[in-house]
Each structure stands twice: as C-alpha cells, then as structure tokens.
A and B are shown apart, each in its own frame.
Chain A
Amino acid sequence: MSVDKNTVAKIAKLARIRVDEAQQEALSGELNQILGWVEQLSELDTTGVEPMTSVVEMTQPLREDVVNDGHYVDRVTKNAPDSAHGFYAVPKVVE
C-alpha cells in the first residue's frame, strides 16, 4: 500500500486538517513509512484467527434503561463559542 500526495490531500480534507501543499510530499513519505512498518504484520499467517478487538477478556457490559442524566442545558452549552435560546448557534449550514 502506498500513499501519494493526492491521498494525503484527501485524507486531510476528510479529517478537516489543513495541510499545505508544501507539506504533502513530506507527509506522504512519513505515512508510507508507518504503513510499511505496520504491514510487517501481514507476514504472519492469521488464517482462521478472530480479530482481537480488546486485550480485556470481557464482553460488552450493558446498563439498565433508566433516565439518570441530562436536564442541564447550561452545562451542555457552557463551552460553546455561541448559543441562543438553549440552542448551540453555529454558522449557517443549510443544504
């Protein structure tokens, strides 16, 4: 797997990270190095091995269906750059 300049630009855009054109070349080199290192794993034969999703030997804990949170509009909107009438107020995003 190889990452070129265009892929870097695309990933950056999807992640909403500004990457100047000048940086893209260098970044693609770095990413390729990382991917190359990770790809060493494919030398192992993992046929029939379940993917490991966690190092903890347990399954998903479940909670009871009880309302015990919320009801604090002020706390929820406290860190927002702007809010009005209990809503978050953001630059207009309309389809």
Chain B
Amino acid sequence: MSYRIKGNTGDWEVVIGLEVHAQVISNSKLFSGAATAFGAEPNYQVSLVDAAMPGMLPVLNKEVVAQGVRTGLGLRAKINMKSVFERKNYFYADLPQGYQISQFLEPIVGEGVLTLDLDGGETRDVGIERMHLEQDAGKSIHDQHPTQSYIDLNRSGVALMEIVSRPDLRSPEEAGAYLRKLRSILRYLGTCDGNMDEGSMRADVNVSVRKPGEELGTRTETKNVNSIRFVQQSIEFEAKRQIKVIEDGGKIVQETRLFDPSTGTTRSMRSKEEAHDYRYFPDPDLLPLVLDPAWVEEIKKTIPELPDEKKARFIKDFGLSAYDAGILVTDRDRAAFYEAVAEGRDAKLAANWVMGDYFGALNKSGLSLENSPVSAKQLGGLIGLISDDTISGRIAKEVFEAMWESGKDADVIVEEKGLKQITDTSAIEAAIDEIIANNPGQVEGYKGGNERLIGWFVGQTMKATGGKANPGMVNELLKKKLAE
C-alpha cells in the first residue's frame, strides 16, 4: 500500500530524504570549555573561542567525539578512523567566525541503516548516508527592537551531529517513523536528548516528486523544521506544490525553502541562494582526527541494548506481538519498567496493563515514571493477583485506581475493601438459585432456546456478588443449574 498523491495527470510518488541536526549531549562545547545548558542568560555561556576573537584556537572535545562514535555504532554504521574538520564559509550575524567548522569530504561516520517501525508491526530499512560533527551557530532575535536584531551566542559552538538519510523515505508517515526511531536510538545511546521543542533536534527536509518508476525529480530543501508534525506537513505541502508546478507546465527549481508553522506552507528563501558557495577547505587550526581502534572497541562495549534488539527479545522471550513490543521499547525507561513488571508474571497480561491502564494513568495525570504513585513492583503485584484468581480483571481496574490514589499495594487494597474474588461454590450457587427463583420468565426463555440470555444471567450474578464472583465459575455453574 504505497503512498501516492493524485494529480491531474495521474498518481505521483514522493521521495524524501532527511538531514537531522541533533545536539550532542556534552557538558562543554565542541571546541571550547563554555557550557551547553539550555536556557542561560544571553551570552553567558560564551568563551572567546565561541565569539571568534582573533587568535583564539579550537580544541576538540573528547567526549563529543565519543558521542559521535556511539551514534555511528547505534546506526550500525561504518566508523571512519580518520576524519577531517573543514570550514564552511558564509556570512551571517549569528556566525561570528564567518565560517562553520564542519566535516565535509571525510566525516566521522559513514554508511549505516535505520529500521522503521511501521503500522501493524511491519518494518523497513532506510539507508543512512553519513553522519558528521559540526558547530551550531548563535541565535538571532528579531522581535525585540524595531531596527536591530539581537544576537545570543550561547549556542554558538555547541556540538551538533548531522545525520543524513538516503532518499529512501516515501511518505510523511515514513518520515515521522524515521524521526521517532532516530530519536529513540539517540536517547537510548544518551547522545542527544531529542527535545525538538528546545531545538535539540531539527530537520532539513529534502522532497521531490516523480511518476512511479521514473527517474528522481529535482528536489527542494526545507530548512530547520522543528517538530515531527511540521516535517510531515511540510512534505505534504511541498509535494503538492511541486506536482502543481509540473502539471501546469513549469519546472522545479532546486532551492532552499522555509516552513511556516502558522500556515503549514513553505516559501522560497531566495537570499540563501547566492550564499550557497561555501568554499569548504580543511581547517588549518585543526589536525585530522584519528581514532584509536582500541578506544572505539572500548566505546562499543558500553553501547546498551538498542530498540531493535530489545524488540526482538521481547517478541521471543515474552511472546509479545511485534506491534506491542515496538511500542514498549520506544523509550528505554519505559521498556525497563515493563520488564520489571513482567518479571515472573504473565508477560502478555503485564504488557496490556503497562501500555493500557498504566501509561494511560500516567498521561492523564501528567506524571512521569520517576514520580508515579505506583511502582513496577506494585503493578506486578496486582497482575499476580489476577493471574492466581484472587481478583477478576474487572475488579483489578478498581484496585488499580485505588492504588493510584493511595500508593498502597494491591493485596492491601483487596483486603481492606473485601474485593477478594468469590471462589466458594456454595456462595455463588446461592446467588444463582435466588436469581433463577425470581426470574421464571428469563429461565423459560433460555430453556426455550434463547441461549444468549446466559449473558443476562452472568450479569445478574456478578451484580449480586458485587462483581467479586469468579466469572469462569459463574458461567459454569449457571449452565449447570439452568440445564436442571
């Protein structure tokens, strides 16, 4: 079921490639000892290196290099043992050096692969072309003064990873799945926090259209899109715009465009066109970066189990569906929470409870796992009570709500509220006898062949026992009694 856009001349295919800029988690900047924390006072986290004062020299941050290697390994990519920093030259007010130190011909990470998790548990591999390290620019603020822009260099020199996909994506949904998976992997690795609203992850979106099976069309690049939803909107808008241009007899110009979130449209950034001659050359202030194979091996040993492997293990060890496993592994902490709940319990029941009631309650109350009132051990306790027939699944929901309110253990609540399932045959039989005696009409109907009335009898019995009767036993006893 391929994604197609209908035009006047038939169906069109959309071809998408993403360049993701991800801020590296590190204490200090790529080439200076200034801090990287978000939200500081303007120009507070700026060294004379970041402000490009004459004579200041860049010194490479070892941890950022390690983070780059980690990310490369997490993307199952080739680690280039030698890479080179180059200068990308352009003028802008928030780029004090007049060039960005980046990697061009020899990036630190080469080709890799990322597996998309699509609807219904399906997967598809997308190629990663490369990943390189580079400096972020400063921030311009245009709305504080009528004739001036204000420049804050706190971001200037912060390390970014630019992760470039092959043009393998074919729909806005796939682009969304790519970004979610990439974010999940980076968070597992601890190399980027993935907070798009703080600008820690932004995407340049390359889009072209073609008739299925034809050559690639001319692409446009929409810069700096900062949410998954906006990326998807910009693709849809841009694809439709291109189709219209072509069908009206026009040509697509390869250009840089800007996404406007308020209208969901893109527009040309003509001013960027001339500046596109970046005149890259190796930065004479920096020697080639040569990695020690032993160090790379050491880093490799610290790579945690990543989402794809964890998902495969959940399917194999816990018997979960690909879809459920895919959801549970998206977030490392949530996956760990699930494992703690499932430990020694019915794993599928645990998955249903974690993904359903538990995450539902978390979302509803705006809490996170760390400050949740119910721990993994407590939820496991509740599941244990369901599995050993102490309580029914229906009562369990009531118990769970009480646990969420009070933070008490499930068995305590069951005891306090007297919610223990009635498994005493005689007690259930007594209730059934009474219902049968009081409802001769229904009994006759059932005996006359209307077998669906059994549901009504089950309902009555559950009501009479305050929902505490074991549903299986009720069914069995009812059928026996009504057959008498």
Contact = CB atoms under 8 A, between A and B. Distances in A.
B46 interface: yes
A90 B89 CA distance: 20
A18 interface: no
Given A60-B60, A63-B33, A90 B290 contact: no
A37 B404 CA distance: 80
B156 to A, nearest CB: 10
Contact of B41 (A69, A73, A89, A94): A73
Contacts of B145: 84, 89, 92
Interface in B31-53: 32-35, 41-51, 53
Closest 9 CB pairs of A and B: A65-B63, A70-B34, A69-B33, A87-B150, A62-B62, A69-B47, A88-B151, A86-B42, A68-B33
Given A59-B287, A61-B60, A85 B42 contact: yes
Contacts of B248: none
- Indicate the size class of the contact surface on chain B: 35 or more
Interface string A29-66: 00000000000000000000000011010111111111
A1 interface: no
Interface string B45-81: 1111111010000011111110000000000000000
Contacts of A65: 26-28, 61-64
A84 B150 contact: yes
Contacts of A95: 258, 269, 271
B286 interface: yes
B277 A88 contact: no
Interface string A1-24: 000000000100110100000000
A86 B149 contact: no
B27 A92 contact: no
Name, among A66, A87, A93, the residue most crowded by chain B CB atoms within 10 Å (CB to CB): A87
B63 to A, nearest CB: 3
Contacts of B46: 70, 73, 76
B369 interface: no
B92 interface: yes
Name, among B51, B53, B142, the residue most crowded by chain A CB atoms within 10 Å (CB to CB): B51
Contacts of A60: 60, 286-290
A53 B84 contact: yes
Contact of B48 (A13, A14, A76, A87): A76
B160 interface: no
Contact of B43 (A68, A86, A91): A86
B367 interface: no
Interface string B126-170: 000000000000001110110111111100000000000000000
24 contacts: A14-B277, A16-B91, A59-B287, A60-B60, A64-B62, A65-B28, A67-B27, A67-B33, A69-B32, A69-B49, A70-B34, A70-B47, A73-B41, A73-B42, A76-B48, A79-B53, A87-B43, A87-B151, A88-B150, A89-B150, A89-B151, A90-B93, A90-B148, A90-B151
A77 interface: yes
Interface in B276-326: 277, 279, 282, 286-290
Interface residues of A, number: 39
A62 B292 CA distance: 12
B143 to A, nearest CB: 9
A88 B46 CA distance: 12
Contacts of A69: 28, 32-34, 47-49
A65 B51 CA distance: 19
Given A63-B62, A70-B34, A87-B144, 13 more contacts: A13-B274, A58-B287, A60-B289, A62-B61, A63-B61, A65-B61, A69-B48, A76-B153, A84-B148, A86-B41, A88-B150, A93-B149, A95-B269
Contact of B288 (A59, A70, A90): A59
B35 A67 contact: yes
A79 B51 CA distance: 11
A73 B35 contact: no
A81 B464 CA distance: 84
A89 B153 CA distance: 12
Nearest to B35: A67
B41 to A, nearest CB: 6
B288 A53 contact: yes
B144 to A, nearest CB: 8
A70 B51 CA distance: 10
B159 to A, nearest CB: 10
B148 A89 contact: yes
Nearest to A65: B63
B287 A53 contact: yes
Contacts of B290: 59-60
A12 B74 CA distance: 44
A59 B295 CA distance: 15
Contacts of A79: 53
A90 B44 contact: no
Contacts of A56: 287
A38 B135 CA distance: 32
B43 to A, nearest CB: 5
A85 B44 CA distance: 11
B34 to A, nearest CB: 3
A29 to B, nearest CB: 22
Contacts of B89: 14
Nearest to B139: A87
